[in-house]
Amino acid sequence: MPKRSAARSGPGSARMRDVALRAGVSTMTVSRALKEPGKVSPEMRERVLRAVRETGYLPNHLAGSLSSNRSTTVGLIVPSIDNSIYTQTVKSLSEVLKHSGFQLMIAESGYDPNEEEELITVFLGHRVSGLVLHSTEHRPEAVEKIRNAGVPVVETGNIPDRPLDMVVSYSNRDAAYAMTMHLGRLGYRRIAFASLYSVHNDRSKDRLQGYADALKELGQDYDPRLVVETERGYAAGAEVVARIVQTVPEVDALFCAGDVLAVGALFECGKRGWAVPGRIAIASFDDVDLLRHVSPSVTTLRLPRHDIGQRAARLLISRVIDGAEHLRGSVVDLKFEVIQREST
């Protein structure tokens, strides 16, 4: 017995077949009129489009993708959805993809590689055309699944030593290095460094590495008391600056590898009456709008968040639509910029 009784009328009705009947043509003609208008005569196109309108036909992407073995979805996995630093990237990514007819499926891994693997599996099950992963640390099983699926991938959070496929990012190590050098050149001699926990977070690890490398270059000692790993939030930033100043009174600068931390630290200085940069200079990571509007305005790194999303999308699209296999393994190391402001 057929799966579906017979006549249709209810919601979600019209199929391509209905349109074809109405227009008195075959479904292939409908399909062509819709997807390759150049391949049908103008009159025919008109006739089909009218039938489409009259029937309220809505193409079924599921069926289309299954049949053509090409989907129009891209999967994005970010560590945390409610982190402002990702939203710019997500926005531009989504815009460019939408423009090419792709839809974004988004999910959050919570900085957990196991969760990431789980999500990758789900996305591959949905037959996404491509994946965008912010993290650059993946479980071997995840890597294998991706390889096996043959899906193009872009990593966007860092420049990994051994990329999965394509990479569009700035170098966290280089950025932290640049800012630390900047502080050194400004004359600061005891530069503290605060970052987020680096467990399963190679971005944090690399930033610390950049800091350490710069200190060496500057001829300054690496003092473990000046390095703090902490959680997120304004309160954490406040606590860090208070603690550091107490532990190492000679400290004259604090480089926070996270915008929220830096602002938290700045506010704390304000409350304690410590001049910034007189008593202690403060530098941040990521040029969120807020940093320009606080007083004193905060020196920071302008990162190419927008470009990352845009270029990641473009690479994926080239691979998927144009089959640009020569792009496989592309590494786009985008530039960042040190923005000198009042706080240093």
Partner DNA sequence: TTGTAGGCGTTATCAT
Partner DNA sequence: ATGATAACGCCTACAA
**Which residues sit at the interface with DNA, rule CB under 7 A?**
1-4, 15-17, 24-29, 31-32, 34-35, 39-41, 43-44, 57, 59-60, 63-64, 66-70
Q: In DSSP terms, which residues pair with 307 in a beta bridge?
A: none
Binding mask 165-184 for a second copy (x = CB under 8 A): --------------------
Q: Which of residues 33-92 bind a second copy (CB under 8 A)?
A: 56, 58-63, 65-66, 71, 73, 80-84, 87-88, 90-91
Tell me: does residue 275 bind a second copy (CB under 8 A): no
Contact 131, 103 (CB under 8 A): no
Following CA atoms 269, 275, 276, 279 in sequence, which dihedral angle do they give, to the nearest 10 degrees?
-100
Among 145, 190, 200, 341, binds a second copy (CB under 8 A): 145
Neighbours of 30 (CB within 10 A): 28
Beta-carbon contacts of 157 under 8 Å, excluding residues fewer than 6 positions away, are 79, 133, 134, 135, 136, 169, 172, 202, 203
CB of 149 to a second copy, least distance (A): 5
User: Nearest to residue 255, comparing CAs of 306, 210, 202?
Assistant: 210
- Residue 321 touches which of DNA, a second copy, none (Cβ within 5-8 Å per kind): none
Within positions 212 to 241, which residues make up the interface with a second copy, using CB under 8 A? 233-235, 238
User: What is the token pair recorded at 338?
Assistant: 């040190």
Distances 24 to 43, 47, 58, 111 between C-alpha atoms, Å: 13, 9, 18, 55
CB of 248 to a second copy, least distance (A): 24
C-alpha to C-alpha distance for 164 and 137, rounded to whole angstroms: 10
283 and 299 Cβ atoms separated by less than 8 Å: yes
| Piece of 132-140, 173-181, 262-270, 334-342 that binds a second copy (CB under 8 A) | 262-270
**C-alpha torsion angle, residues 12, 17, 20, 21 (rounded to 10):** -100
Contact between 267 and a second copy per CB under 8 A = yes
Smallest distance from a second copy to CB 300, Å: 15
Residues of this chain that bind a second copy (CB under 8 A)? 10-13, 56, 58-63, 65-66, 71, 73, 80-84, 87-88, 90-91, 94-95, 98, 103-108, 119, 121-127, 145, 147-151, 233-235, 238, 260, 263-264, 267, 270-271, 289-290, 292-295
